[in-house]
């Protein structure tokens, strides 16, 4: 497939590298000379310097023959114009990153499809949804839903004193009535697919697949002292920060206190005018002990550092932890900071650019893929795959299928119910499976679920 990507920032360059390595013919457009030069030196892609909102520049990038155009510049309006031009050129699939509620909000005057956009990606909205789910699950450091909300993927940090510490995975399976499955363990830099004899250790990060309606019974296994979130502090009246406060109030969470801290006086006043009276808005720096003391008061269950500045977020989160904030979450604009921040004890670290890459990939990858989620800062993925008619996965029970090393089926949706499969389970055509895969296993797993036979 020929794909034109406009915008060579973190999202565009990551997409270009991944799609090029997957065999697609990729063109990248950006106005920055140094960015284009750097990509040209390290990637096998066509690099075009210029304004991607101009038809002549898109033609130089091969838009006439492209099947897909991905607009991921830093400006919504430019991405809209690029998508409209791509439609004029007859491009079949148009994907654009749109952040503003003016284009993707519930009251938007024009829907994305009216602007020539087939798929609008809003990473900030996805982050808010993720954080809202994490608030609902004590001890969770990440959370995603699959199969229209029936299946939950949760990552926990195994706490000292938790019942699972020292237990063999096979032992957990036998005592938990197979209501959940640990599909990955992060111990160090790289995730592993655990075996039945593996034992869980304190500070392991474990990715668990379970039914949404059984999460309350599972949490106490991984969290020594599960406590509901009642008091929240958000630092940064940014798009994410304000949306998060709104989401926390609009959901059914029984919060006692929500505080928003904003260092810019005008932005603080604007947030105070927009938000409900249930939110206390403070003007000041979250790194200021006096401001933090007033915000946290006697107790803070969750502190969210959501400003636009990574260093301010990191310092605010560390200060909040020192003031006894029970859990902290940090928004990092720089992807390379994500593993560093995770390793210094911050509970939740999210990067909007990596979120956008993961969202876009699910519309590009072949096969009947309904959803793709990347785990933490790794390249490991959890995919929602449909077993299409004639696919290899439907030919034999799971134990007789040659699964790639680093891949595992975590859940199967059968007749509207989720089940944890064992080796005797045989996948039926049309059923949906939630699958974990290390990078080297992804392609072979996709082949198992596609019509093309893996063997012969």
CATH label of the domain that carries residue 282: 3.40.50.720
Both 346 and 295 in one domain: the answer is yes
**Average pLDDT of each block of 10 consecutive residues along the chain (456 residues)?**
93 88 91 93 94 97 96 95 96 92 81 88 89 90 84 89 89 68 83 86 90 85 87 94 91 85 95 90 91 85 93 92 90 80 79 79 66 73 87 92 89 87 90 89 86 44
Both 187 and 206 in one domain: the answer is yes
CA distances to 124, 163, 278 from 203, rounded to whole Å, are 28, 13, 36
pLDDT reported for residue 93: 93
Both 188 and 286 in one domain: the answer is no
Closest alpha carbon to 356 in 43, 73, 61: 73
pLDDT reported for residue 312: 92
- Please check whether residue 75 lies inside any domain of the structure: yes
Structural domain including 284 reads: 231-355
Both 341 and 381 in one domain: the answer is no
Both 329 and 366 in one domain: the answer is no
Phi, psi of 272 (to 5 degrees): -65, -35
Chain centre distance of CA 207: 14
User: Residue 56 burial by CB count (10 A; 0-12/13-18/19+): exposed, middle or buried?
Assistant: exposed
pLDDT reported for residue 454: 37
pLDDT reported for residue 455: 35
Both 418 and 343 in one domain: the answer is no
| Residue 422 CB contacts under 8 Å (≥ 6 apart), including other chains | 178, 398
Q: Give the whole-angstrom CA distance, residue 191 versus residue 189.
A: 7
Beta strand 46-49 with 25-30 is: parallel
Element (H, E) at 197: none
Token digits for 109? 């005057």
Domain boundary among 222, 240, 259: 222
Q: Give the whole-angstrom CA distance, residue 296 versus residue 44.
A: 51
CATH code: domain of residue 160: 3.30.70.1450
Phi, psi of 212 (to 5 degrees): -60, -35
- Please check whether residue 48 lies inside any domain of the structure: yes
Buried b (16+ CB within 10 A) or exposed e, 384-410: bbbbbeebbbbeeebeebebbebbbbb
Both 303 and 403 in one domain: the answer is no
pLDDT reported for residue 456: 36
Both 102 and 28 in one domain: the answer is yes
Phi, psi of 247 (to 5 degrees): -65, -40
- Please check whether residue 276 lies inside any domain of the structure: yes
Beta strand 68-71 with 2-6 is: parallel
Both 242 and 340 in one domain: the answer is yes
- Please check whether residue 455 lies inside any domain of the structure: no
Both 165 and 69 in one domain: the answer is no
Q: How many residues does the chain have?
A: 456
Evaluate whether 74 touches 100 at the Cβ level (below 8 Å): no
- Please check whether residue 70 lies inside any domain of the structure: yes
Domain boundary among 355, 380, 402: 355
Domain boundary among 65, 88, 121: 121
How many domains does one find in the chain? 4
Q: Give the whole-angstrom CA distance, residue 422 versus residue 415.
A: 17
């Amino acid at each position: 497939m020929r794909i034109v990507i406009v915008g060579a920032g973190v999202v565009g360059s990551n997409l270009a590298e991944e799609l090029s390595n997957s065999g697609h013919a990729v063109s990248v457009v950006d106005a920055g000379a140094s960015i284009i030069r750097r990509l040209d030196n390290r990637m096998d892609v066509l690099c075009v310097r210029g304004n991607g909102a101009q038809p002549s520049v898109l033609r130089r990038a091969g838009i006439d023959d492209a099947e897909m155009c991905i607009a991921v510049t830093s400006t919504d309006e430019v991405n809209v114009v690029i998508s409209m031009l791509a439609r004029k050129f007859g491009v079949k699939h148009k994907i654009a990153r749109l952040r503003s509620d003016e284009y993707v909000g519930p009251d938007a005057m024009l829907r994305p499809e009216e602007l020539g956009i087939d798929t609008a990606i809003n990473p900030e909205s996805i982050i808010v949804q993720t954080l809202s789910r994490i608030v609902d699950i004590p001890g969770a450091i990440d959370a995603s839903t699959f199969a229209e909300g029936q299946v939950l993927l949760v990552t926990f940090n195994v706490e000292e004193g938790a019942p699972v510490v020292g237990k063999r995975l096979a032992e957990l399976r036998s005592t938990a009535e197979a209501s959940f499955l640990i599909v990955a363990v992060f111990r160090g830099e790289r995730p592993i697919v655990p075996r039945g004899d593996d034992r869980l250790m304190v500070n392991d990060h474990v990715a668990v697949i379970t039914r949404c309606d059984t999460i309350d019974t599972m949490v106490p296994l991984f969290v020594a002292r599960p406590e509901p979130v009642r008091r929240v502090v958000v630092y940064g009246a940014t798009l994410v920060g304000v949306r998060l406060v709104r989401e926390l109030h609009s959901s059914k969470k029984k919060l006692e206190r929500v505080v928003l801290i904003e260092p810019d006086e005008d932005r603080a006043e604007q947030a105070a005018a927009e938000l409900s009276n249930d939110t206390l808005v403070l003007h000041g720096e979250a790194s200021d002990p006096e401001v933090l003391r007033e915000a946290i008061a006697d107790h803070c269950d969750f502190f969210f550092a959501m400003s636009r500045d990574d260093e301010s977020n990191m310092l605010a989160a560390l200060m909040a932890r020192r003031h006894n904030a029970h859990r902290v979450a940090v928004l990092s604009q720089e992807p390379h900071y994500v593993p560093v921040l995770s390793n210094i004890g911050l509970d939740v670290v999210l990067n909007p650019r990596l979120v956008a890459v993961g969202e876009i990939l699910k519309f590009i990858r072949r096969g009947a893929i309904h959803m793709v989620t990347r785990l933490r800062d790794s390249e490991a993925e959890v995919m929602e795959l449909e077993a299409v008619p004639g696919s290899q996965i439907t030919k034999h029970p799971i134990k007789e299928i040659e699964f790639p090393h680093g891949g595992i089926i975590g859940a199967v949706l059968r007749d509207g119910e989720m089940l944890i499969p064992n080796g005797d389970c045989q996948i039926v055509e049309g059923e949906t499976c939630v699958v974990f895969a290390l990078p080297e296993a992804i392609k072979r797993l996709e082949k198992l679920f596609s019509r093309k036979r893996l063997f012969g």
